[in-house]
């Protein structure tokens, strides 16, 4: 069974559900029964205009058509249209009787005549299979009869095969975000679910058995076909996959042969040692592979420098050392040219590099992209034509809902809006402002949402929302990427600061690594300096400043209140209170080694130094704690421990545990309830301006 809550592909749907139609309380919840402001909250939320979610976007190799997924009456549906007239779209589906199917994961054939996708039409809400549809209107052809989790279909360059990532017999999606399977049996040995590369012939009829291209003892995260369609390059690790991505290696493998390690960050010398690698891409001549390498805190959240390594192995070369930006996605535009999406401060942009053997130089001025961009399963990705003259993607920012855009490289790098799906949707929150400040010699950037109907003559409360990661960044998006919904707070009369402190994307690899062995100290100083900058420029009531965040932001919410009394209230989502016990509780402990420098058993002191529980007697801040009961990344006992300690210290607190939820909540009712409870918590201790 394959979940529909894909971290990147379905993010827009999740955010639109939060921001647009309104938030309904869980029946009988404490917030619904006791919250005095719930009526006002619901009125604000119900006033947000409805819109359509856009998922993936894929341009045909010849550039003549664009396929995309958008929300429809029965869920996400596939649309195809001429690239010059997206309004002339029609639906592509495996349904033959008008039924509603969940369909996504788009891949064009090299000849631009057929489109592959996954659909659950044959077994609704149970299993996805691979289908192939001609764009001339013929019926979709089912290619597989699968049983397990599938994602990321990709045609071989010669069009003969379609590869995909497949976890046969999976009980849950791959990765740590989904709800963990309740433990049973021999832990760490029973029930390991391994993601492999499989493929089927594109010309097949009926329901072909997939051929496994990679061995059963390697968990594959990302894969790329070689230019001659005879081999694969992929990033993989020993199982369990969700834990060992931080030790993943780069492999090449000719079809039918054994894999060979091309790059192992655990053993390589130099600045890539012990770090992470992602997005492997063959150079067009097949003799080298480029990738992104750096300090990354989550699989799928890619950021770092561009690296190049021979397809035969050897010493990798950093193509962008010292660059004050973070590369998040790239594609080879030619034999010696790379197009990369990068974040530089507040700017998301496309930068072109001329690539030499050991370095790369910028070719021309970077092209500004209209906010946060995304085309599919990889973060910040674009979909390009075969000659790379045009890229197509969805984009949004704080002031404009998602639409489909094209970037035509050969026409003076012109960005053009192709769709008008959400033109009538307007934001229901306040004006966004990019804030910049310096602290400890670092340049720091963050985003500030002003209160709706801001009046400088009034004093307003401020909520600081710290992003997860920590290797991540807040970027301009239609509804800021958070379960805690900063846009809602802005609409209700709060300033909302979303800082990108040290450890974040956007300022280069040195900035991203500046919080190693220092969680909660330098990054907190950066955040507090940002609060100072906002208070110096805007009408803020310093007695009404709150703090919230999820994941790493949840940790910061727990730790910060032990270090300062500046925050009047806090909401900690899926946080971490004790790094020592956390190491033995979570399902992804390997991510901690690069950040802390050693395991908790080798250097417990560095873990203790950043553990909120060790400073718990200093807390005075009322704190709401929320978590999923099956969270493998930030397990519920961490929240229990923090809540229990606050209660013992007679600090106002409440713990809410959500059933059957992992690190990323899948239930709309639960996501909505989190927002409602957070709104009520802040309204109780630091009410908005009247």
Write the CATH number for 279. Answer: 2.120.10.30
| Domain at 571, CATH number | 3.40.50.1820
Residues 433 and 361 in one domain: no
Mean pLDDT of 521-548: 98
Q: How far apart are CA 631 and CA 656, in angstroms?
A: 13
Tell me how many domains the chain contains. 2
Counting runs of H as helices and runs of E as strands, what totals does the chain give?
13, 38
Predicted local distance difference test score (pLDDT) of residue 215: 97
Burial of 364 (0-12, 13-18, 19+ CB in 10 A): exposed
Predicted local distance difference test score (pLDDT) of residue 95: 87
Predicted local distance difference test score (pLDDT) of residue 43: 54
Residues 443 and 329 in one domain: no
pLDDT per residue as tens digits for the range 625-657: 999 999 999 999 999 999 999 999 999 999 999
Q: Which has more confidence, 639 or 410?
A: 639
What letters, b where the CB count within 10 A reaches 16 and e where it falls short, cover 620-629? ebbbbbbbbb
Q: Which of the given ranges, 32-46, 199-213, 551-565, has the highest pLDDT on average?
A: 551-565
Q: Which has more confidence, 181 or 65?
A: 65
Six token digits for residue 591 = 């991510």
**Averaged pLDDT of the chain:** 90
Query: Does the pLDDT value for residue 19 go beyond 70?
Result: no
What letters, b where the CB count within 10 A reaches 16 and e where it falls short, cover 20-53? bbbbebbeebebbeebebbeebbebbeebeebbb
Residue 87, number of CB atoms within 10 A of its CB: 10
pLDDT band, very low/low/confident/very high, at 76 (cuts 50, 70, 90): confident
- Among candidate residues 86, 92, 88, 90, the one with its CA nearest the CA of residue 104: 92
Predicted local distance difference test score (pLDDT) of residue 187: 75
pLDDT per residue as tens digits for the range 283-310: 999 999 999 999 998 888 999 999 999 9
Residue 201 included in any domain: no
**8 Å CB contact between 157 and 108:** no
Residues 364 and 437 in one domain: no
Q: How far apart are CA 450 and CA 228, in angstroms?
A: 53
**8 Å CB contact between 632 and 298:** no
pLDDT band, very low/low/confident/very high, at 99 (cuts 50, 70, 90): confident
Residue 82 included in any domain: no
Q: How far apart are CA 235 and CA 165, in angstroms?
A: 12
Residues 358 and 488 in one domain: no
Q: Which has more confidence, 170 or 658?
A: 658
Residue 362 included in any domain: yes
Predicted local distance difference test score (pLDDT) of residue 47: 47
Residues 459 and 323 in one domain: no
Residues 326 and 472 in one domain: no
Which among 341, 368, 395 is the end of a domain?
368
- Among candidate residues 7, 2, 27, 42, the one with its CA nearest the CA of residue 680: 42
**8 Å CB contact between 331 and 351:** no
Residues 520 and 438 in one domain: yes
Residue 160 included in any domain: no
Query: Does the pLDDT value for residue 8 go beyond 60?
Result: no
Mean pLDDT of 440-465: 97
Residues 361 and 437 in one domain: no
- Least confident span in 14-18, 424-428, 469-473: 14-18
Predicted local distance difference test score (pLDDT) of residue 431: 96
Mean pLDDT of 328-333: 96
Residue 358 included in any domain: yes
Query: Does the pLDDT value for residue 3 go beyond 50?
Result: no
Residue 350 included in any domain: yes
Residue 399 included in any domain: no
Residues 362 and 473 in one domain: no
Mean pLDDT of 214-238: 97
Which residue reads 């809400």 in tokens? 125
**8 Å CB contact between 279 and 328:** no
pLDDT band, very low/low/confident/very high, at 690 (cuts 50, 70, 90): low
Which residue reads 């007695």 in tokens? 543
Predicted local distance difference test score (pLDDT) of residue 428: 87
Which among 322, 350, 368 is the end of a domain?
368
- Least confident span in 164-178, 433-447, 595-609, 668-682: 164-178
Residue 534 included in any domain: yes
Please state the pTM of the whole predicted model: 0.92
Mean pLDDT of 161-184: 83
629: phi then psi, degrees, rounded to nearest 5: -75, -15
Query: Does the pLDDT value for residue 238 go beyond 90?
Result: yes
Query: Does the pLDDT value for residue 27 go beyond 70?
Result: no
Q: How far apart are CA 423 and CA 193, in angstroms?
A: 43
Predicted local distance difference test score (pLDDT) of residue 154: 97
Residues 456 and 330 in one domain: no
Q: How far apart are CA 592 and CA 615, in angstroms?
A: 21
Q: Under 8 Å CB-to-CB from 478, ≥6 apart: which residues?
A: 12, 15, 16, 19, 371, 396, 397, 398, 400, 401, 402, 427
Identify the DSSP state of 478: S
Q: Under 8 Å CB-to-CB from 441, ≥6 apart: which residues?
A: none
Query: Does the pLDDT value for residue 22 go beyond 60?
Result: no
Percent of the chain's residues with pLDDT above 90: 77
Mean pLDDT of 209-213: 95
Q: Which has more confidence, 371 or 482?
A: 371
Q: How far apart are CA 638 and CA 636, in angstroms?
A: 5
Residues 472 and 585 in one domain: yes
302: domain range?
A: 214-368
| HEC-encoded secondary structure of 40-74 | HHHHHHHCCCCCCCEEEEEECCCCCEEEEEEEECC
Q: Alpha carbon 562 to chain centroid distance?
A: 29
Q: How far apart are CA 70 and CA 308, in angstroms?
A: 36
pLDDT per residue as tens digits for the range 82-98: 999 999 999 999 987 76
Predicted local distance difference test score (pLDDT) of residue 15: 29
- Among candidate residues 303, 316, 328, 322, the one with its CA nearest the CA of residue 358: 316
Which among 318, 352, 368 is the end of a domain?
368
Residues 291 and 431 in one domain: no
Q: How far apart are CA 216 and CA 208, in angstroms?
A: 20
């Amino acid at each position: 069974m394959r979940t529909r809550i894909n971290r990147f592909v379905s993010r827009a749907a999740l955010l639109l559900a939060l921001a647009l139609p309104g938030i309904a309380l869980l029946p009988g919840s404490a917030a619904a029964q006791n919250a005095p402001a719930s009526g006002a909250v619901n009125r604000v939320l119900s006033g947000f205009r409805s819109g359509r979610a856009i998922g993936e976007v894929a341009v045909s190799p010849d550039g003549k058509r664009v396929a995309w997924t958008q929300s429809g009456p029965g869920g996400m549906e596939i649309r195809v249209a001429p690239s010059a007239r997206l309004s002339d779209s029609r639906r592509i589906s495996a349904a033959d009787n008008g039924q509603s199917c969940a369909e996504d994961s788009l891949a064009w054939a090299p000849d631009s005549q057929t489109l592959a996708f996954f659909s659950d039409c044959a077994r609704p809400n149970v299993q996805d299979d691979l289908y192939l549809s001609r764009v001339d209107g013929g019926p979709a052809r089912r290619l597989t009869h699968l049983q397990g989790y599938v994602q990321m279909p990709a045609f071989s360059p010669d069009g003969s095969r379609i590869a995909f990532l497949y976890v046969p017999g999976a009980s849950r999606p791959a990765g740590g975000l989904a709800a963990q399977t309740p433990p049973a049996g021999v832990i760490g040995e029973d029930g390991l679910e391994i993601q492999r590369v499989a493929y089927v012939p594109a010309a097949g009829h009926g329901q072909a058995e997939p051929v496994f291209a990679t061995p059963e003892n390697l968990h594959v995260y990302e894969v790329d076909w070689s230019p001659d369609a005879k081999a694969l390059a992929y990033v993989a690790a020993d199982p369990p996959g969700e834990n060992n991505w931080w030790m993943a290696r780069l492999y090449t493998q000719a079809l039918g042969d054994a894999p060979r390690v091309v790059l192992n960050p655990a053993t390589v010398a130099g600045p890539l040692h012990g770090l992470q690698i992602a997005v492997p891409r063959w150079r067009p001549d097949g003799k080298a592979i480029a990738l992104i390498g750096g300090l990354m805190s989550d699989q799928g959240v890619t950021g770092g420098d561009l690296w190049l390594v021979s397809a035969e192995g050897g010493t990798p070369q950093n193509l962008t050392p010292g660059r004050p930006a973070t590369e998040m996605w790239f594609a080879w535009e030619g034999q010696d040219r790379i197009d990369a999406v990068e974040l530089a401060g507040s700017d998301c942009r496309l930068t072109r590099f001329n690539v030499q053997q050991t370095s790369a130089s910028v070719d021309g001025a970077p092209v500004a992209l209209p906010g946060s961009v995304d085309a599919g399963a990889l973060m910040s990705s674009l979909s390009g034509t075969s000659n790379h003259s045009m890229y197509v993607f969805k984009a949004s920012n704080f002031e404009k809902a998602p639409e489909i855009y094209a970037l035509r490289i050969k026409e003076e790098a012109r960005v053009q809006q192709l769709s008008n799906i959400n033109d009538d949707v307007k934001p229901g929150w306040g004006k966004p402002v990019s804030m910049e400040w310096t602290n400890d010699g670092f340049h720091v950037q963050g985003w500030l949402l002003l209160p709706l109907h801001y009046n400088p003559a009034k004093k307003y409360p401020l909520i600081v929302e710290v992003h997860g990661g920590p290797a991540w960044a807040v970027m301009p998006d239609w509804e800021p990427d958070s379960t805690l919904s900063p846009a809602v707070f802005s609409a209700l009369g709060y300033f909302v600061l979303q800082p990108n402190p040290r450890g974040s994307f956007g300022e280069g690899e040195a900035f991203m690594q500046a919080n190693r062995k220092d969680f909660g100290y330098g990054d907190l100083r950066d955040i507090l300096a940002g609060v100072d900058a906002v208070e110096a420029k805007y009408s803020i009531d310093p007695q009404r400043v709150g703090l919230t965040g999820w994941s790493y932001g949840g940790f910061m919410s727990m730790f910060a209140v032990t270090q300062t009394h500046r925050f009047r209230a806090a909401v900690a989502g899926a946080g971490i209170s004790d790094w020592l016990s956390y190491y033995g509780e979570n399902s992804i402990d390997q991510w901690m080694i690069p950040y802390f420098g050693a395991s908790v058993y080798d250097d417990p002191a560095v873990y203790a130094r950043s553990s909120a529980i060790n400073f718990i007697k200093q807390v005075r801040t009322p704190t709401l704690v929320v978590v999923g009961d099956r969270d493998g990344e930030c397990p519920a006992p961490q929240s229990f421990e923090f809540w229990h300690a606050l209660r013992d210290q007679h600090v106002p607190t409440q713990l809410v545990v959500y059933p059957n939820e992992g690190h990323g909540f899948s239930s709309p009712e639960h996501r909505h309830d989190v927002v409602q409870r957070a709104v009520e918590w802040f309204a109780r201790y630091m009410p908005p301006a009247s």
